[in-house]
């Protein structure tokens, strides 16, 4: 089975509520063996936009929104991880509303 490819993008970090890089480390550890991260091999299956706060003001203008997942807080990351681990992307559907 081919691993899921995930690219990570960060906001500018102007006023983060949590340690974004530590959260990404936790995501990578939780999905170890299920996914590859930022490998640059073809298009990513999912793009995690790591916003440091609920404002989520970083631009996603040039990203394919159909594959973007917005992380505003650690609980969002937990939804994403569980959705990937259970192969149930509906678990993180709320993180994909980019309107």
31 within 8 A of 87, measured Cβ to Cβ:
no
Residues constituting the chain: 99
Q: What is the pLDDT of residues 42-65, one digit of tens each?
A: 789 999 999 999 999 999 888 899
Q: What is the pLDDT of residues 59-95, one digit of tens each?
A: 988 889 999 999 999 999 999 999 999 999 999 999 9
Q: What is the pLDDT of residue 99?
A: 54
Q: Phi and psi of 8, rounded to 5°? A: -110, 130
Q: What is the pLDDT of residues 19-44, one digit of tens each?
A: 999 999 999 999 999 999 987 777 89
**Domains in the chain: how many in total?**
1
Predicted TM-score (pTM) above 0.75: yes
């Amino acid at each position: 089975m081919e691993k899921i490819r995930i690219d990570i993008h960060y906001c500018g970090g102007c006023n983060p509520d949590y340690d974004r890089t530590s959260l990404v480390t936790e995501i990578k550890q939780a999905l170890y063996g299920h996914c590859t991260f930022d490998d640059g091999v073809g298009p990513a299956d999912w793009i995690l936009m790591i916003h440091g706060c609920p404002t989520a003001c970083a631009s996603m203008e040039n990203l394919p929104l159909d594959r973007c997942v917005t992380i505003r807080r650690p609980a969002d990351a937990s939804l994403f991880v569980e959705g990937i681990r259970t192969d149930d992307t509906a678990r993180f559907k709320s993180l994909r509303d980019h309107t």
